[in-house]
Structure formats: C-alpha cells, structure tokens
Structure 1
Amino acid sequence: MTLPFRQPLPLLDNDVLRTFVAIAEGGSFSAAADQVLRTPSAVSMQIKKLEEQLNTVLFLRDARSVTLTEGGETLLSYARRMIALSNEAVGRFRMPDMKGVVRLGAPDDIGERFMPTILRRFAEIYPAIMVDMTVDNSSGLRRRLSEQRLDLTLVNCAPGTVTTEGEVIHTEQLVWAGAKCGTAHLREPLPVSIWEDGCCWRADALARLERDKRPYRIAYLSAHTMAQRAAVVADLAVAPLPRSYLTSDMMALGAKHGMPDLGSFEVRLLTGTERSDPVKAVADSVRFAFSEMVGMAA
C-alpha cells in the first residue's frame, strides 16, 4: 500500500504568533497592533493568513470584543510554548551570561497592577533570568533590602515625604476612592478601608481627616488592595488609592464631597549592594514599564 503524496506542512511564523498572542491576551486587534508596532490592517492580514494556514477560525469578533474560538484556545498554548522556546534559543547565543536569580520586591498595589505584565515581558527577553517576587508593605520591603534578602525593590513614599533614597520612577496623585454614585462618604463617622500598620499612605490619610476634624472609623483593615477595592465598590467605605487604580465603578472624591486633598506620592526604585548584570536588567525593565505607562497617560 502506497501512501498518497503530501505537501510539507506550512511553517508557522513566530512574528505572526506574537501578534496572535497579543490579541488573545489583550482582547483587541487595535491594542495588539500598538504592542507589536504594526497597523491594525496589517494585524488583520496576519491573522487572516494564519487562519488560512491552519484552516480554522481563531477569533470570534463583534463590535466590542474579540474572543478565542476552541481552535484559538488550542493554538494559544502552542504559540506561547513556541515563542518561549524561540526566546530561550536566541538568548542562549546572544546573552549567554544573562542568567541567574534576581530577588525583586514591590508593594501590594504595584504587585497586583503592574508586576504581572512587567515580569511576563521580562521573561520573554531574558528567559534564563528567574525573578523571585516578594510583595510586602514599603517599610517591610526596605527592611528586607537592608538585610540583603532582596536585590532591588519598589517602594511607595507618602505625600510630602522628603527623601533621597533610590530613584523616582513614577509620581501619581493619591485620591479618596468611592463607589460611583455611592453614599459612603456621606456617613458619620466616615467608614474608611485602609491598610494595616506599615503602609506609607495610612498615617498621612488619617492625619488629614483628623486635621479637618472629620470623624472616621476603620471599617475595613487589610494588607491587600483587592480588599480595599472590594469595600469601595460595594459602597461600604472609602479608601486612599492611586488615581490610576480607579475602575469604571469607582470615582475620585474631592473637596466638593467633603474629603481632604491627599496630594501626590512617589514610587521609588531602591537597589542593594549587589548590582550584577541580571539585577541591572530587571531594574531597566521596571524603569521602562513605568516610563511607558507615563507616556500612555500623557
């Protein structure tokens, strides 16, 4: 029995797979186009060609969203593995000395909002460098760095703090967050959702309430920003949060709501005594991510 002649299977292009992964993770062709530095029409052509190669539909599209089909979900797993293997192979030759473990610290709000994206992008560029992540409050992170249990860390500095430690990589307004159309800020005493002792924002926010002689009570106490956000969205309390942390179901409360101004705070990058090339690479990646965020907000 002779087998029928078959044409060789087509080879998948890693650049196209990167575009496919960017769409799958961002849920948008236009956002993916910005990420891979192509026009939306070029991205659409890449996906059309990919679907023709695989003889399957990868995305379901409507006016508001893009979702993966069953075939798209299957390809996503392969695509991530193929890109990771390609990065590993290229890194083996182009950056043979860039390997090891880097211990990085970050406050809870930064750890939740920014670090997953930063670490994922870093792993794509430096697959041989492992980053061990520690999330703690800023005072705890400073202590870990001084005890040489971290190589570098991000810390939040309270509004009005004068310090020369590390370098400023981000400055942002701190606001009182409340539920959209909520009433928590009208209650007496004011219900506040706040972090445990050690948070640099806690003392300053409460001091400003006391300065304005505004009665308050600690309604929710947690070390995690997710708990603060949950209390705010449920309209059970207000909380001091970075303005960028507010979602569509939240609003910033100001003077017209009877709330004191909280000023702006700094995010600083501190490094320990060990400044190896992998540590410098992580630091550069963090700096770039925050500069990119500022550029997007401008």
Structure 2
Amino acid sequence: MKPAEIFKDQLLSSLDMEFLKTFIAIAEVGSFSKAAKQVFRTPSAVSMQIKKLEDTLGASLFVRDARSVRLTEDGEMLLGYAKQILALNNEVLARFLEPEMTGTVRLGSPDDYGSRLLPVILRKFACTHPQVTVDVVIDTTERLIERMEEREVDVILLTASPDQPMHKDEIVALEEPLVWVGLKGGHAHLQDPLPIAMWEAGCVWRALAIRSLQGMNRSYRSAYMTSSTVAQRAAIQSDLAVAVAPRSFIDEPIVRLTETEGFQDLGVYQIRLRARPDLDKVAQAVREHVIASFEAFKVGELECL
C-alpha cells in the first residue's frame, strides 16, 4: 500500500471532535432535533454526522423510535470515552494554544465524594493547570445549592435521586447503587431497633434509607447523626451502627449487608454537577475536568482514596 493510501486509511479511521460533540449532545437530551439546536446544525447534518461516526466505528450507537432516542450498548460505552476525549482535547488546546490559565475557582461538594474522590481529581487538575487555585467547599447538598444561588461557588456536585427534576444547568456525573453496610463479623445489624449512622434531613441517602427500612418493616434509631463519612465509618468500624454507602466505596473491614442478613439494596442515586451559566474559561476547565474524571471513575481508570 502506498504511503498516501495508508495516511488516508488512518484519517478515515480517526474520530472527528465535532462528531463526538454531536453524539454527546444527542445522548444527553435524547433527541436529534434538540441536539441540532445545541450544536448549531440542521437535523439532517446531525444525522449525517452520526451516520459517519457509526460507519467509522462499525457499530450502531442509537436505538430510535417515534418517541425517543436511546443509546445502544456500544453507544453507552462510547459516551464515557467521548467525554474523556473531548475533555483531554480541550486541555491540550488550553495548554498549547492559549495563554496559561490563572485564577481561582470555587468548587462545592458533599462530604462523601468530597473527601474520597475529589482530592484525586484535583491533584490531576493541578498537574495541567498549576496556576489555577481551586477552593473547595464541603457542605450538604441543600446548602451548596443555596451557596450557588448566593454566587459563593462556581461549580457544585450534589446528590439526588433519579426521580428528582433536573436543573437546567445540571448534568448527571455519576449514577451508582446504594447499599447497606456494616462491620465484617459485627453484630450491630442484628439489634432491634436497628442503630443507624444517619444524615441530616434533606439528604437523599437518608430518604432512601428510611424508605428501605419502611419496606423491610424494620424499626430503627439514629445512633449517629452526621453528614461526615469519616464519622460514619468510625461508627461502623466500632460496630455501633450500620449505614448506607455507594457500592464502590466498600472496603474492609466494612462489608455489604445483603438479603442474607435481612437487608435490601436501596436502588441508585445520582451525583449531579451544576455550574453557574456565566463561567469563565478557568471555571469551565475545572467543570470539564471533573466531568472527565467521573467518566474515568466509571470505567475503573480513577480510584478514590
């Protein structure tokens, strides 16, 4: 094969950034026509981009019917990669084609991911943006929303149940199962009433826990009332209480409590990212980095503390 032909084959097999942007827009809004408005293209141009992307990958990305558009299994897989690719592309462009970013960004997070995943995310961001300062605020979801309304923070992570309405400036960064947890070999889960390390009113974990307990017809008492995951883990490790936690956060000596011990899973909850609509380039870079980091976390390429 001639060099020109080899180059052509490589070019044809590359991924177009604009195609990936269109693909992500469709995946997030669930509509080709709505996505077309977001990417400033006609619906026919959007359809053509997706057709070319599917031809390049040799896979079908969407299932379409009269009422909705949803991702195929291949589309679900591509979505995570696409967000990482675009975020990395933006980082490279910012690094080489724009003046070095400087400034301060205020990022809010609940304690659960703020203490275990956010340090890893920000450490990686600091490597590519050493002149940017990220001030972190750890607070409850309700208070973080209030802080954003008061313009005290630029970007926030918040917890929500899937049935809660989405804010116009929100995206779902992560959806993960919540499960009951206790001490390995412990006895707290056998007590009646059940001692629980609880969270403050308004927390989605608390609401799901109470719903689960009611479904099990299980009496309980609030042994610890705290939104600190450190305090909750201490209570569990002392065998003084049980709690709920994201499945990915379980490590010994804390173990999952299953139907064998009389417990039911609590379903899924969401980590959503909300940003002010008037972000500057520095804050936008933080937002994109956090989104890409959660995508890496989903596929096991980023580990929490």
Superposed displacement of residue 161, structure 1: 2.6
Find the counterpart in structure 2 of residue 223 from structure 1: 227
One-letter identity of the residue aligned with 2:176: E
Q: 1:227 to 1:267 in 2, by over 3 A?
A: same
Q: Give the alignment partner of residue 132 of structure 2, picking from 109, 129, 132.
A: 129
Conserved? CA contact 2:100–2:131, under 8 Å? no
Superposed displacement of residue 169, structure 1: 1.3
SS at match of 1:296: coil
Superposed displacement of residue 115, structure 1: 1.0
Aligned-partner Cα distance in 1 for 2:271–2:122: 18
Superposed displacement of residue 162, structure 1: 3.0
Aligned pairs for 1:66-145 within 5 A: 95-96=98-99, 98-145=101-148
Find the counterpart in structure 2 of residue 156 from structure 1: 159
Q: Give the alignment partner of residue 245 of structure 2, picking from 241, 254, 266.
A: 241
Gaps of 5+ in 1: 1-90
Conserved? CA contact 1:178–1:251, under 8 Å? yes
Gaps of 5+ in 2: 1-93
RMSD (Å) for aligned C-alpha atoms: 1.9
Conserved? CA contact 2:95–2:128, under 8 Å? no
Aligned-partner Cα distance in 2 for 1:171–1:287: 13
Q: 1:269 to 1:127 in 2, by over 3 A?
A: same
Find the counterpart in structure 1 of residue 288 from structure 2: 284
1:296 maps onto 2:288 in alignment: no
Superposed displacement of residue 288, structure 1: 1.4
Aligned-partner Cα distance in 1 for 2:234–2:180: 14
Q: TM-score, normalized by length of structure 2? A: 0.64
Q: 1:297 to 1:161 in 2, by over 3 A?
A: farther
Conserved? CA contact 1:140–1:198, under 8 Å? no
1:265 maps onto 2:304 in alignment: no
Cα deviations across residues 46-105 of structure 1 (Å, max 9, x unaligned)? xxxxxxxxxxxxxxxxxxxxxxxxxxxxxxxxxxxxxxxxxxxxx998642521111111
Aligned length: 207
Q: 1:297 to 1:239 in 2, by over 3 A?
A: farther
* Percent identity between the two aligned chains: 40
Q: TM-score, normalized by length of structure 1? A: 0.66
